[in-house]
């Protein structure tokens, strides 16, 4: 998809589809209250072309509601699409991101290959253009890669109209939006691949290719390195599989960056999670190809960081392996020694993500990381706690969490901070070893996993993202296709950038 700015009046644009936004000005909270519609562009000809339909009551401008007009009078566009943004008083760029995506996903199956978006009049900031670009690019992704009847419905070009006074801000926003959203889609492409086509080795190759393209340093190590580093926790998962593990290490070190902070981005890269000997039930097991979504998010984030070039250092570590049952697989009750020296009683081999991350986080610190963030499809429990709307965020440092919360305001991604007070530590106490890899009870499962990880970060400021609840969408939304969402890429990039602007 090509995105460009166009300095033209809406009425004059020749386009297959002109997209304008509308909102409801009424302050009434009553569900059936008559909306007071307002078109968010003051352009006379667009106002005239849509006045009849706006008066008809057919269209209420609720968020992502659409209405199509063919051959709109007085316009050069072939079609005019109204997209609702909901109540004007509550309007945010995050709604605009979705609404732009809704327009793109409306166009895709209808053979429309280019469209023109008219941003709302009072939204001239770089964030507006960034959000529209992100919404459009994210919406263009579909997960039907291997269907032989697949039709390429991708949109060739999206123009965003801009007035001269906003152009320089718009250019900044557009560039950021393109970089970040393409990186999010890059992560989604990796996640969408089935496990026979995205083994740890292949994930390592994809990381190497990306690093080469964008000028990052990247090493991919195999089992020998795990042994050399004494990564007993990571290896305990990898030992059960015939596919060799991959320890992916990428570094971004711009010359102008100060010695600190050094960000450690650590991702869970389980390319397939059967559960191991504590095997999962067959229902939904096919979904466990997305158990590397955290690792993919980190690779995607590095792709964006390499292009946006913040003045801070970052190290990315992805621990990639399958989790398989076999004659070589670890068994419940086994005791493993992590790289940090801590002993772990493996109660359940399906709690494997925390095992690989234990060594990944510790290694990041050893490589000099002063600030850690990890992303992992770590627990089913996070979806029980939060539903499929928010992902979980945990932190051992309030100030650092605040900076992450600030990044969320820009990214628009939904994370909910979860508790991890010391009282929870009892849940992972083991009799035979330092810690056990599951809680003593089923309660608070996502926090128990976070408490386990905390053992390996010590005092280093750290954020843990449990994305198991939102990394995969089971059904289409108007602005994003079902399948991998690429959650966390945008927030991680924004958080790292906020230290190196």
Give the catalytic positions in this structure.
280, 354
Classify 3 as helix, strand or coil: strand
Binding to Zn ion, residues 264-293 (CB under 5 A): 270, 273, 291
Stretch that binds ligand BES, among 120-128, 181-189, 254-262, 375-383 (CB under 6 A): 375-383
Q: What is the DSSP letter of 278?
A: S
Q: Is the previous residue joined to 261 through a cis bond, with omega within 30 degrees of 0?
A: yes
Which partner, Zn ion, ligand BES, none, binds residue 381 by CB below 5 to 8 Å per kind? ligand BES
Classify 183 as helix, strand or coil: helix
Residue count, binding to ligand BES (CB under 6 A): 14
Stretch that binds ligand BES, among 65-73, 192-200, 377-385, 485-493 (CB under 6 A): 377-385
Q: Cβ 151 to ligand BES, closest distance in Å?
A: 30
Question: Of residues 95, 142, 352, 413, which one binds ligand BES by CB under 6 A?
Answer: 352
Q: Cβ 454 to ligand BES, closest distance in Å?
A: 16
Q: Which tokens in the block code for residue 306?
A: 């390499």
Instruction: Give just the sign of the alpha carbon dihedral 488, 416, 391, 428.
Output: positive
Q: How far apart are CA 478 and CA 107, in angstroms?
A: 11
Q: Cβ 486 to ligand BES, closest distance in Å?
A: 15
Q: Does 438 bind ligand BES (CB under 6 A)?
A: yes
Q: Does 374 bind ligand BES (CB under 6 A)?
A: no
Only one residue has tokens 């979504």, namely: 293
Classify 156 as helix, strand or coil: coil
Which partner, ligand BES, Zn ion, none, binds residue 348 by CB below 5 to 8 Å per kind? ligand BES
Q: How far apart are CA 82 and CA 94, in angstroms?
A: 18
Q: Cβ 473 to ligand BES, closest distance in Å?
A: 12
Q: What is the DSSP letter of 423?
A: G
Classify 1 as helix, strand or coil: coil
Q: Does 380 bind ligand BES (CB under 6 A)?
A: yes
Stretch that binds ligand BES, among 104-112, 170-178, 305-313, 348-356 (CB under 6 A): 348-356
In degrees, rounded to 5, the angle at the alpha carbon of residue 65 between the alpha carbons of residues 95 and 28 is 75
Q: Cβ 211 to ligand BES, closest distance in Å?
A: 26
Q: How far apart are CA 387 and CA 468, in angstroms?
A: 10
Stretch that binds ligand BES, among 22-30, 181-189, 343-351, 366-374 (CB under 6 A): 343-351
Q: Does 348 bind ligand BES (CB under 6 A)?
A: yes
Stretch that binds ligand BES, among 171-179, 196-204, 344-352, 386-394 (CB under 6 A): 344-352
Q: What is the dihedral of CA 354, 438, 485, 97, to 10 degrees?
A: -100
Which partner, ligand BES, Zn ion, none, binds residue 65 by CB below 5 to 8 Å per kind? none
Classify 24 as helix, strand or coil: strand
Question: Of residues 353, 360, 444, 486, which one binds ligand BES by CB under 6 A?
Answer: 353
Measured in degrees and rounded to the nearest 5, phi and psi for residue 463 equal -125, 130
Output 43 or 352, the one with its CB closest to ligand BES: 352
Instruction: Give just the sign of the alpha carbon dihedral 405, 409, 414, 416.
Output: positive
Q: Cβ 482 to ligand BES, closest distance in Å?
A: 15
Question: Of residues 88, 176, 243, 291, which one binds ligand BES by CB under 6 A?
Answer: 291
Binding mask 161-200 for ligand BES (x = CB under 6 A): ----------------------------------------
Which partner, Zn ion, ligand BES, none, binds residue 134 by CB below 5 to 8 Å per kind? none
Binding mask 109-128 for Zn ion (x = CB under 5 A): --------------------
Q: What is the DSSP letter of 188?
A: H
Which partner, ligand BES, Zn ion, none, binds residue 132 by CB below 5 to 8 Å per kind? none
Q: How far apart are CA 430 and CA 342, in angstroms?
A: 12
Q: How far apart are CA 73 and CA 76, in angstroms?
A: 8
Provide the edge-to-edge strand list for the sheet that holds 435-436: 335-337, 343-345, 435-436
- Residue 97 host element (H or E): helix 93-107
Output 15 or 349, the one with its CB closest to Zn ion: 349
Only one residue has tokens 């990044």, namely: 407
CB 192 within 8 Å of CB 473: no
Binding to ligand BES, residues 248-287 (CB under 6 A): 273
Q: Does 381 bind ligand BES (CB under 6 A)?
A: yes
Nearest-10 crossing angle of helices 293-308, 167-192: 150
Residue count, binding to Zn ion (CB under 5 A): 6
CB 355 within 8 Å of CB 347: no
Q: Does 388 bind ligand BES (CB under 6 A)?
A: no
Which partner, Zn ion, ligand BES, none, binds residue 438 by CB below 5 to 8 Å per kind? ligand BES
Q: How far apart are CA 490 and CA 470, in angstroms?
A: 14
Paired residues of 488 in beta bridges: none
Q: Does 322 bind Zn ion (CB under 5 A)?
A: no
Binding site residues, ligand BES, CB under 6 A: 273, 291, 348, 350-353, 377, 379-381, 438, 445, 468
Binding site residues, Zn ion, CB under 5 A: 270, 273, 291, 350, 352-353
């Amino acid at each position: 998809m090509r995105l460009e700015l166009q300095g033209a009046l809406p009425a004059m644009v020749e386009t297959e589809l002109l997209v304008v936004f509308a909102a409801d000005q009424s302050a009434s909270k009553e569900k059936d209250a008559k909306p007071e519609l307002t078109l968010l562009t003051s352009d006379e000809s667009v106002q005239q072309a849509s006045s009849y339909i706006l008066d008809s009551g057919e269209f209420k401008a609720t968020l992502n509601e659409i209405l199509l007009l063919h051959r709109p009078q007085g316009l050069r566009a072939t079609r005019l699409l109204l997209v609702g943004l909901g109540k004007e008083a509550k309007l945010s760029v995050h709604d605009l991101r979705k609404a732009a995506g809704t327009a793109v996903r409306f166009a895709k199956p209808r053979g429309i290959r280019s469209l023109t978006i008219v941003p709302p009049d009072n939204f001239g900031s770089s964030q507006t253009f960034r959000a529209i670009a992100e919404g459009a690019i994210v919406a263009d992704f579909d997960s039907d890669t291997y269907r032989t009847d697949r039709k390429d419905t991708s949109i060739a070009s999206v123009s965003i109209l801009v007035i001269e006074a906003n152009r320089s801000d718009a250019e900044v926003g557009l560039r950021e939006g393109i970089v970040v959203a393409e990186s999010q889609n890059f992560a989604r492409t990796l996640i969408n691949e089935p496990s026979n086509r995205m083994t740890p080795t292949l994930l390592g190759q994809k990381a190497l290719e990306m690093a080469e393209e964008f000028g990052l340093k990247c090493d991919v190590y195999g089992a020998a390195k795990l042994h050399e580093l004494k990564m007993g926790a990571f290896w305990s998962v990898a030992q059960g599989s015939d596919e060799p593990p991959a320890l992916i290490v990428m570094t971004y070190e711009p010359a102008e960056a100060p010695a600190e902070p050094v960000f450690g981005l650590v991702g869970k890269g389980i390319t397939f999670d059967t559960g191991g000997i504590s095997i999962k039930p067959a229902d939904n097991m096919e979904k466990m190809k997305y158990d590397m979504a955290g690792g993919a998010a980190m690779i995607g984030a590095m792709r964006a960081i390499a292009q946006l070039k913040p003045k801070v250092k970052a190290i990315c570590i992805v621990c990639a392996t399958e989790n398989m049952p076999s004659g070589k697989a670890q068994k419940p009750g086994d005791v493993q020694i992590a790289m940090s020296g801590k002993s772990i009683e493996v109660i359940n081999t399906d709690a494997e993500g925390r095992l690989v991350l234990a060594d990944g986080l510790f290694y990041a610190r050893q490589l000099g990381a002063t600030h850690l963030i990890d992303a992992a499809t770590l627990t089913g429990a996070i979806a029980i706690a939060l539903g499929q709307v928010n992902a979980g965020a945990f932190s051992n440092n309030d100030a650092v969490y605040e900076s992450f919360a600030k990044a969320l305001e820009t990214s628009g991604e939904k994370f909910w901070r979860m508790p991890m007070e010391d009282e929870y530590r009892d849940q992972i106490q083991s009799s035979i070893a330092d810690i056990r890899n599951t809680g003593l009870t089923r309660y608070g499962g996502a926090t128990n996993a976070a408490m386990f990880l905390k053992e390996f970060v010590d005092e280093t400021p750290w954020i843990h993202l449990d994305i198991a609840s939102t990394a995969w969408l089971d059904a289409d939304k108007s602005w994003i296709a079902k399948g991998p969402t690429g959650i966390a890429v945008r927030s991680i990039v924004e958080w790292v950038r906020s230290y190196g602007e």
